[in-house]
Chains A and B, each alone.
Chain A
């Protein structure tokens, strides 16, 4: 990926030195991220290529859905990542609020646009799957509506981060929204069981054997691994962006302070 300058190894002033924040040390995090990245990239690329091959070529058509079942391999893992992303956001927000962990706030900020992206993929591919199978692009059923709410929670979180002049206040407000929005996750998960909706219930998470043929399960799980890898690669990358932007802001601040004292 992008090569970084040696100066990116320097920790942000004020963060270094605290025993409580040992793991919040950005230099330590950046070293770890750089070590993990090539392995993550390799696993992601292999599972993505294999998933695309099995999904588009080496898997059978569904006896009812024909070829449209292939949309499942880009749709279902996107929906999983949309929810995984929100869980990441909520956990990071809780850690940021409770322990004032400076990397946690940034992890939440980094995860939000990625989660929103996967939510958009889930909604768009679901619509493209709905037209040939249900006969409609869109229906306001419980599952679809709760996923739209998820997208707005992501967008609201991003907007709150940017709504305050002091970043700490924005982080706090956004974290509170993220925690309140957790109630939406079980609603998404169980919406297909609680309400009689057009959206089908889960085929994978049932106790016992999955209600799906192994020939279709293979590409689905490969794509799920690939999407998870892409999410984590993007998360590491966006955290590097956020850390670099924070270093720039700290440098600008110290420059203007030094200018005043002179």
Chain B
């Protein structure tokens, strides 16, 4: 197991390479999930107000 992590003496190059790849991809997913949740919250809040207001506007 220790031999596997040592990567023939190149651990200092190989693991950061895999880590950066994973970090950037996971970061893109987390950023996008948060953005979607934020937008859908805002949409739900606006939609509620919209539904309350719509009949009033049609009458005027």
Contact = CB atoms under 8 A, between A and B. Distances in A.
A251 B46 contact: yes
A5 interface: yes
Contact of B13 (A2, A132, A254, A255): A132
Given A2-B33, A67-B7, A262-B60, A128 B17 contact: yes
- Which of under 10, 10 to 19, 20 to 34, or 35 or more describes the interface residues of A? 35 or more
A128 B28 contact: no
B20 A124 contact: yes
Contact of A5 (B13, B14, B44, B57): B44
B2 interface: no
B32 A125 contact: no
Interface of A: 1-2, 4-5, 7-8, 56-57, 61, 66-68, 70-71, 74-75, 78, 113-114, 117-118, 120-121, 124-125, 128-129, 131-132, 230, 234, 237-238, 240-241, 244-245, 247-248, 251-252, 254-255, 258, 261-262
Interface of B: 4, 7-10, 13-14, 16-18, 20-21, 24-25, 27-29, 32-33, 35-37, 39-40, 42-44, 46-47, 49-50, 53, 57, 60
28 contacts: A5-B40, A5-B43, A5-B44, A8-B40, A56-B18, A70-B7, A71-B13, A74-B18, A78-B21, A121-B20, A125-B17, A125-B20, A125-B21, A128-B16, A128-B20, A129-B17, A234-B28, A237-B33, A240-B36, A241-B36, A244-B36, A245-B35, A248-B42, A248-B43, A251-B46, A255-B53, A261-B57, A262-B60
